Chains A and B, each alone.
Chain A
């Protein structure tokens, strides 16, 4: 009976019991769920397909292949580590939401058709917003609404794309299969049709493409301590998986990815909130994966998958360490931190391991995964994107390798002497740090170190990957030169007093377009209405007074929509988007 359930469903269903349980029993249950779910996934046969027909469509809720398996494995590890990190939390909302969210992401990685994908796509959106709202502040409430609008909007665009894509195919061979749509199949995105382009856009929103990225840096730093750790692992990497599945070899992704690696670097350097710095850094890392998917060769796709695996581990680790700092000191702002290594030595060490991993120092996980991507990009002859990735690598070192640990744990002494992180947090960070080192080591014994990581990759038998050796003199020398000279630049600037000190404040990004300009428009529209409204009231005096007062309650400047400003009207916009999807569906038939 279990085998008929899709992977991840144990997490989704099991999460429902969390509010009913208490104390150690709840902890045990939460720890058991990812383990049971992993065993359940592991028992599925490779190439397993579970299909059934619904009306005239064939749905495939479960498809097991090497690509989905990589994501299945790393999502389960991330779920387990997040649960351990969350064991001290009493709030059942976060725990239930976190588990369901993990389960939905795992389910999506095994979806064999686009409708199933859509269902999981929206489930990840709806469950994860509670990880933000659980912060229980006015600010988190607003951020959560913005996040939900964009996430659900991405799903609606996906659905509209799927409908167009499906109906655009010849009647006899219509298929909803979640397979290659552009790129390696010889069709470029430009000629693939509106349906496929909308699907690409939907994936691009969740993958935080440049200019579609603001939701990420907006939402992740506002979630709870535990919530951000959950969030950092799933949504964006699910989008990376979806891109690898459908758009591998689509050349525009090379450029999108390269811009994605560079753009957030500048924002990360000036940002004061260290969890926001990590969100920019996350965005930059996604760029490497997107770029590799654009190359689309087996080596590049292995690079994207390896990078996703390692990235989930070291990014969780970094968010965990900053979460521990926030938990103990009440702030994650660089201006208010510094010198914490004295009383949080374990957290410091784990953070440094995460920092070394993301910077791709030899012996750490980032080195063996990023090398694949860099080699694939250079091998395919993309010179400028390669230089952009190299530049971004120095950027990663700046914001995640140096800035995060330096301003939190070293730098000037803030005078804060918080306790070390709770034991469960240390265990979770320790395990993540162990994985970062274990998969980064040279293969002293066959099958260990990076050999293990490469063996689970989707194209593990690709001859280039099988022969690929990250630990060559060239790789080690060039990478160490890049990183050490950049560290030296930091030390030199510090010594000369030229390194800019951290400052309080926020940095404008393109979200100003909807947060200020759009808001300004809403305010202006409200003012116009306050002038026009009364005049109109005279004209429609004949209208039943009850109808009018209802309309006014909603639309007037004193009414529901205007009083809260832009964010309250988001609900309306969601409905409008859903309505549009419905219209599209209607006309297609």
Chain B
């Protein structure tokens, strides 16, 4: 275990305010992201795709696929925790 002893840590006091620590930075990032996504959809409008598969050419196929897949994965995580989560020492009786 010797190599993983935690180093002494200084308390988070009186740090200079970083951009990411500003209260409204998260909001700015969120809207920038939203704008970027709209931009990508707009690009799709004026661009004819040449996918291997027919439905790849539907408007924004990859966009809504990504969005829904992500939500599904996160949603399933909530369900999985309910059913399959156990305390950390579950196997320690071995």
Contacts and interface: CB of A to CB of B under 8 A. Distances in A.
B73 A395 contact: yes
A48 interface: no
Interface in A279-320: none
Across the A-B interface, give the 6 residue pairs with the lowest CB-CB distance, nearest first: A378-B52, A330-B6, A394-B69, A482-B66, A489-B70, A481-B63
B94 A375 contact: no
B55 to A, nearest CB: 9
Nearest to A383: B53
Interface string A465-492: 0000000011001111111111111111
A565 B94 CA distance: 6
Given A225-B3, A477-B44, A515-B91, A489 B71 contact: yes
A294 B88 CA distance: 38
Contact of B4 (A225, A480, A493): A225
B30 A326 contact: no
B62 A478 contact: yes
Interface in B1-41: 1, 3-7, 9-12, 15, 18, 20, 29-30, 33-34, 36-37, 40-41
17 contacts: A142-B94, A266-B76, A330-B6, A378-B52, A394-B70, A394-B73, A397-B70, A415-B11, A415-B12, A477-B43, A477-B47, A482-B63, A482-B66, A484-B37, A489-B71, A506-B85, A508-B90
Interface in B37-87: 37, 40-41, 43-44, 47, 49-53, 56, 60-67, 69-71, 73-74, 76-78, 80-81, 84-87
B10 to A, nearest CB: 5
Contacts of A341: 20
A235 interface: no
A270 interface: yes
Nearest to B52: A378
B91 A269 contact: no
A548 interface: no
B81 A485 contact: no
A341 B15 CA distance: 13
Contacts of B44: 477, 481
Contacts, number: 184
Interface residues of A, number: 75
A221 to B, nearest CB: 13
Given A329-B6, A395-B73, A418-B9, A342 B63 contact: no
Given A500-B81, A505-B86, A417 B12 contact: yes
A241 B28 CA distance: 46
B49 A486 contact: no
A24 interface: no
B28 to A, nearest CB: 12
A269 B73 contact: yes
Interface residues of B, number: 56
A489 B33 CA distance: 10
B64 A485 contact: yes
B1 to A, nearest CB: 6
A507 B85 contact: yes
A578 interface: no
A550 interface: no
Contacts of A490: 70, 74
Contacts of B47: 473, 477
A416 interface: yes
Contacts of B11: 415, 417
A108 to B, nearest CB: 29
Contacts of A328: 6-7
Contact of A480 (B18, B40, B80, B86): B40
A391 B64 CA distance: 11
A516 B91 contact: yes
Contacts of B62: 390, 477-479, 481-482, 485
Contacts of A398: 70, 73-74
B53 A270 contact: no
B2 to A, nearest CB: 8
Contact of A474 (B20, B29, B51, B80): B51
Nearest to A89: B3
Given A269-B77, A491-B30, 15 more contacts: A91-B3, A225-B3, A265-B73, A266-B77, A330-B4, A379-B52, A416-B9, A480-B40, A490-B74, A491-B29, A493-B71, A499-B74, A507-B81, A515-B91, A567-B94
